[in-house]
Amino acid sequence: MIDELILMFKKMAEALLSANEKHKLITRHLQEVLGDDRLRKILEERDLRVYWGTATTGRPHIGYFVPMAKIADFLHAGCEVTILFADLHAFLDNMKAPWELLGHRTVYYEHIIKAMLKSIGVPLEKLKFIRGTDYQLSREYTLDLYRLSSVVTEHDAKKAGAEVVKQVASPLLSGLLYPGLQALDEEYLKVDAQFGGVDQRKIFTFAEENLPSIGYAKRIHLMNPMVPGLTGEKMSASVEESKIDLLDAPEQVKKKLKRAFCEPGNIENNGVLAFCKSVIFPLLKDENLVLPRSAQYGGPMPFSNYTQLEESFAKQEVHPGELKNGVEIYLNRLLEPIRKEFESEDMQKLTLNAYPPPVPVQQKKKRYSPITYEGTPPSD
């Protein structure tokens, strides 16, 4: 009963937000918005329909909390949000997800993304979940893909996927189809906007330029900044040392944070600080981020917003070790319910099926041919 009342009051609060307040929530912490005028116009008339897609490739890591925090903003702004598990995209991207593992990985993504959303308090009933193969193999979609292919050059398709599709010396034709599918998803999911990282910008502009060529409207594009990983570079599911897995045990989290790049006073390419900015503070709401510190050095340090934390770190009033300890505490709070959900035998089996351990490559032993001599060897 209490939960129902809380949900009712939340819905009432969302309905009372003005178009400007909704716009502020939707766009806060974004790096770029393409089509802001259209966004404002829609919000004056109704709630925004937006989707976020994720290719079901490597195991999701803590960097995925960045889009999850933004999805929470969209929901608070009254948006209708669709999450696309882009299984076909995962296969087309240089076979990052082999066909025989695709089904298992998609189910894994569904479970872990939903567990993440629950851990940050997002009500799943307000979201729509869909797989790419639910509609991307239909006759209508396939025909539209051919129509789009007839107006897009090889150069433009390759350029659009340059930041997202794996780049290799001899690219496969499948990678050139990737941007076209992502553009068509906007039409087939019936959304006003697509949300993603700023690394998707070339695909977003590709969609804006080419969808009108086959009679479909251009959409709004909302872009998050890319959050640096633990090494200071882009966080990647395929680079083990750059990320913390969502199922890492507390001791693994501690170990990886301890090794994370976090130079005293350096606020550039600092993955630990970036996580505070993009995830912790947006999710804290009215709570302070408290960094533990012994009484000998002044006791715990509370911060009510990211700007305070960044300024204190830049002035070296906060030591990297203190920052890491505080992030470790909060991160484990987020990860604990996800770990619990994946403790069951079924979830462990799913994880193993989706990401089987790599088969060690055995080195072939060199065969040596027996030495032969011409003529008859001399006798004793």
pLDDT at 364: 65
Res 268 pLDDT > 70: yes
pLDDT at 217: 97
* pLDDT of 376 above 90: no
Query: Average pLDDT in the 259-281 region?
Result: 92
Confidence of residue 371 (pLDDT cuts 50, 70, 90): low
Q: What is the pLDDT of residues 99-138, one digit of tens each?
A: 888 899 999 999 999 999 999 999 888 899 999 999 999 9
- CA 194, 198, 201, 202 dihedral sign is negative
- Tell me which of 223 and 374 has the higher pLDDT: 223
- pLDDT band of residue 227 (cuts 50, 70, 90) is confident
Reported pTM: 0.85
Q: Percentage of the chain with pLDDT > 90?
A: 71
Each domain of the chain, given as residue ranges in start order, spans 7-224, 240-354
Quote the DSSP letter at residue 276: I
- CA 135 – CA 85 distance, rounded (Å): 12
Residue 160 and residue 184: Cα distance in Å, rounded? 14
Q: What is the CA radius of gyration of the chain?
A: 25
pLDDT band for position 187 (50/70/90)?
Answer: very high
Helix runs in 34-138, H state only: 36-45, 65-76, 87-92, 99-119
d(CA 58, CA 239): 10
User: Band of the pLDDT at 229, cuts 50, 70, 90?
Assistant: confident
Q: For position 365, what pLDDT does the model report?
A: 64
Residue owning tokens 């799913």:
350
CA 90, 91, 96, 98 dihedral sign is positive
Per-residue model confidence (pLDDT) at position 368? 58
pLDDT at 255 over 50: yes
pLDDT (tens digit per residue) in 285-329: 788 999 999 998 889 999 999 999 999 999 999 999 999 999 999
**8-15 contacts: CB < 8 A, separation 24 or more?**
14/76, 14/77, 14/78, 15/78
Topology of domain 240-354 in CATH is Tyrosyl-Transfer RNA Synthetase (1.10.240)
Structure letter (DSSP) for residue 288: P
Average pLDDT score over the chain: 89
- 47 contacts 234 by C-beta, under 8 angstroms: no
Q: Which CATH fold topology does 7-224 show?
A: Rossmann fold (3.40.50)
What does the pLDDT read at residue 302?
96
pLDDT tens readout for residues 54-100: 999 989 999 999 999 999 999 999 999 999 999 998 888 766 778 88
Q: Give, for 250, the enclosing helix (H) or strand (E).
A: helix 250-259
Residue at token pair 């308090």: 121
Q: Evaluate whether 51 touches 196 at the Cβ level (below 8 Å).
A: no
Percent of the chain whose predicted confidence (pLDDT) is above 70: 86
Tokens of 197: 């990282």
User: Please, which residues have CB within 8 angstroms of residue 210's CB and are 6 or more apart in sequence?
Assistant: 148, 151, 152, 156, 180, 183
**Residue 79, Cβ neighbours under 10 Å: how many?**
25
Q: In the prediction, which pLDDT does 243 show?
A: 84
In the beta sheet, which residues pair with residue 47?
none
Instruction: Give the type of residue at 164.
Output: V
Cα–Cα distance for residue pair 291/344, rounded to 1 Å: 33
φ/ψ region of 50 (left if φ > 0, alpha if ψ in -120 to 50, else beta) reads beta
CA dihedral defined by 164, 165, 167, 173, rounded to 10 degrees? -160
- The CB-side HSE value for 78 (13 A sphere, CA atoms) comes to 21
Q: Is the pLDDT of residue 373 over 50?
A: no
Of 194, 235, 181, the closest CA to residue 34 belongs to: 194
Segment 271-282 mean pLDDT: 92
Q: Which residue has the higher pLDDT, 166 or 43?
A: 43
What is the spatial distance between Cα 152 and Cα 180, in angstroms, rounded to a whole number?
A: 9
How far is the C-alpha of 244 from the C-alpha of 230, rounded, in Å?
8
> Long-range contact list for 43-49, CB < 8 A, 24+ apart?
43/19, 44/19, 47/22, 47/77, 47/78, 47/79, 47/80, 48/22, 48/74, 48/77, 48/78, 48/79, 48/80, 48/192, 48/193, 48/220, 49/79, 49/80, 49/82, 49/190, 49/191, 49/192, 49/193
